[in-house]
């Protein structure tokens, strides 16, 4: 997905992690906090603050993946998690 992600550094960089979020979404904020608390490197985009073209690309990505237009979407390597489900996120992070 060719959009301008915000990069957050972290000591843990075993996985490629991308978060699709909304700036005022409580569950999206929790997902970002979890990554920071675990000191994990990740990229994210607040879709509501992105350009029209970026919004179109994110929407198309979600359609291509047969995902609902809901946030957050957490992508850990090839695993896509729709919604903030901490146990599922932690389980995906344990896979190597």
pLDDT tens-digit readout, 12-50 = 999 999 999 999 999 999 999 999 999 999 999 999 999
29 closest CA partner among 17, 46, 43:
46
Does some domain include residue 42?
yes
Q: What's the pTM value of the predicted model, to 2 decimals?
A: 0.94
The CATH number linked to 35 is: 3.40.30.10
Does some domain include residue 7?
no
Does some domain include residue 72?
yes
Number of domains in the chain: 1
Cα dist from 42 to 64, 68, 74, whole Å: 22, 22, 10
Distance in angstroms (rounded) separating the CA atoms of residues 48 and 67: 18
Residue numbers of the domain that contains 26: 12-84
Q: Please check whether residue 38 is in contact with residue 12, taking contact to mean a CB–CB distance below 8 angstroms.
A: yes
pLDDT tens-digit readout, 42-77 = 999 999 999 999 999 999 999 999 999 999 999 999
Preceding omega of 16 cis (within 30 degrees of 0): no
For the chain, the straight-line distance linking the first and the last C-alpha, in angstroms and rounded, comes to 23
């Amino acid at each position: 997905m060719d959009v301008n992600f915000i990069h957050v550094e972290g000591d843990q960089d075993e996985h490629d992690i991308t978060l699709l979020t909304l700036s005022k979404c409580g569950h999206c904020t929790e997902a970002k906090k979890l990554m920071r608390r675990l000191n994990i490197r990740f990229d994210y985009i607040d879709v509501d603050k992105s350009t029209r073209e970026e919004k179109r690309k994110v929407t198309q990505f979600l359609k291509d993946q047969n995902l609902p237009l809901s946030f957050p979407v957490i992508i850990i390597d090839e695993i896509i998690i729709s919604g903030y489900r901490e146990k599922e996120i932690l389980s995906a992070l344990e896979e190597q």
